[in-house]
Amino acid sequence: MRHLLVVISVMAVAFVLVSCGEKQRPWDPEVEKATFTEIERSIPAVREALMDLNESINKRITSKKYREKALEQFKGVTDFVDILQFYYLPILNARAHISRAYREVQYGMYTEASEDIRKAIDNINKAALKSTDKTKAGFEVVKNQLTSIEKISDQTKDTTLTHLSNAAKQLNALIEKIKPIVVVTEEGESLIDGQL
């Protein structure tokens, strides 16, 4: 009887352990496809519409008072489009690529993770290209975490995940803290300045 109870107990424990051991789900790349490239592609059409609007304002509004008000509103909209195109879309795309790379490393998909890290760096560079020096400094901190990842392997997996996590945290802090505005340089170039 005692032997039977031991066998039943061992079988019950084995059953519990087997039923608790959840099988890892296969990688689903569509779930991780969380970039904003579709919005990015629509920006040129928005810019063209804004230029048509600017032309229309200058031709049709004869009252100086109404024209100035319309041009002020127009500048607000164009500044918003610049901030969207040159600041938010690149950094949100970078964040999506960092997230995707993190999951790919967890799944042992090192080649794909390296590609997503490269895309994240490209997006950070794109955002920095149209930023003031002060804003670029914040992007450099994120970029340094990403460029410190060299070859991803089973041996470097934990270090890579740490660098990706730090890069994501730093990028999230930039997104949350900075209130971007458009500033015009002496040469007439519009740049994004991160106002803390």
Of 71, 91, 90, 68, which Cα lies nearest the Cα of 79? 71
- Looking at residue 175, what is its pLDDT? 82
pLDDT of residue 116: 96
pLDDT profile of the chain (196 residues), mean per 10: 52 52 58 64 75 76 77 83 88 92 93 96 93 87 93 93 92 84 84 75
Predicted local distance difference test score (pLDDT) of residue 14:
52
> How far is residue 106's CA from residue 39's CA, in Å, rounded to a whole number?
29
pLDDT of the residue at 191 = 85
- Assess if CATH 1.20.120 describes domain 34-195: yes
Q: What is the DSSP letter of 163?
A: H
* CA-based nearest residue to 33, from 104, 81, 105: 104
Q: What is the pLDDT of residue 2?
A: 55
Q: What is the pLDDT of residue 52?
A: 77
* Closest to 171 (Cα-Cα) out of 121, 134, 107, 109: 121
The domain ranges of the chain are 34-195
Cβ 102 vs Cβ 32: under 8 Å: no
Cα separation, 65 vs 69, in Å, equals 6
3 state SS of 183: strand
Return the DSSP state at 186.
Answer: T
Measured in degrees and rounded to the nearest 5, phi and psi for residue 156 equal -100, 5
Distance CA 85, CA 79 (A): 10
Model pLDDT, residue 27: 58
